[in-house]
Structure 1
Amino acid sequence: MSDWRRYDSHLIPAFHERFEERWGKNTAPFLDPEAHEEPLPRAQWINPATGAALAVVPIWTDDDRQHRSFGVFYLPPGGDIWVLRPGFTGYLEPGEDASEHLLALRNDAFKKAVAHAKDFLFGPAVMH
């Protein structure tokens, strides 16, 4: 049995801290725990037995908030941060008057990233 559990509260601040430790200050606005607007959609898991965590979140830069992709970030128990590669998950952030097409592209990209995360956590043969 796996010790991984869904984590549905606000993003774990360790994701932001470890990302900025590795790639520099202000490089992860999408992981900032102080942001009032949470990056959505997102999915997170924690392993209480080891202290490891994994998150799927939208990625953008402050220069271009419309073009996004989904990132899969793993926090090993001993520190550091790993970026897992789910393949191409790019999309345009749907606005308030978003077409169903843009919403479908975003949702498809999210599902692909979540499937990659679950394969990492539970193995590809496990039913999700």
Structure 2
Amino acid sequence: MSSWRRYDATLFPIFHERFEQKWGKGSAPFLDPGVFFEDQPRPRAQWVNVDTGAAVAVVPIWADENGRHRSFGVFYLPPSGDIWVLRPGLTEYVEAGDALTEEQAVLRNDAFRKAVAHAKEFIFGHEQA
């Protein structure tokens, strides 16, 4: 049986801390633990390894100032420190804000499923994803 478990509470602050240690202060607003859970961008998924303390997260990320052009980042926290960015391939979408069209929802959900599948393959291997 695997030691990996889904984790559906707020994002671990350590994701934000390690990201900013590696790439600089202010570089990870999408991982900010200071934002209330309800205000965090959606969708997201997290897993934690209860034996080692390692963790994996799939979160919406953005590079533009208005935050509309997004993709899904897959991040791995090794138990000994550091943060790895796992590359799930193309997962870009446009966040519509209040007026989400059906097409935009489909693109976002497809991108999310692709990123989650990549995370599960990393965690559980190709056969169990």
TM-score range, shorter chain: over 0.9
TM-score of the superposed pair, with normalisation by structure 1: 0.96
State the one-letter code of the partner of 1:105.
L
Q: In the alignment, which residue of structure 2 is the partner of 1:24?
A: 24
Distance in 1 separating the partners of 2:45 and 2:62 = 17
Any stretches of 5+ residues in structure 2 without a counterpart? none
Question: CA RMSD, aligned part only?
Answer: 1.0
Distance in 2 separating the partners of 1:91 and 1:16 = 23
Distance in 2 separating the partners of 1:62 and 1:15 = 21
Q: Residue 62 of structure 1: CA displacement?
A: 6.0
Q: Residue 97 of structure 1: CA displacement?
A: 1.4
- The 5 Å alignment of 1:1-128 reads 1-36=1-36, 37-61=39-63, 63-126=65-128, 128=129
SS at match of 1:65: coil
State the one-letter code of the partner of 1:33.
P
- What is the percent sequence identity of the aligned residues? 65
State the one-letter code of the partner of 1:31.
L
Any stretches of 5+ residues in structure 1 without a counterpart? none
Pairs aligned (count): 127
> Which runs of 4 or more aligned residues in structure 1 lie more than 2 Å from their structure 2 counterparts after TM superposition?
none
Asked if the contact 1:69/1:89 (under 8 Å) is kept, the reply is: yes
SS at match of 1:44: strand
Q: Residue 64 of structure 1: CA displacement?
A: 3.2
Q: Residue 55 of structure 1: CA displacement?
A: 0.1
Distance in 2 separating the partners of 1:61 and 1:33 = 18
TM-score of the superposed pair, with normalisation by structure 2: 0.95
State the one-letter code of the partner of 1:124.
H
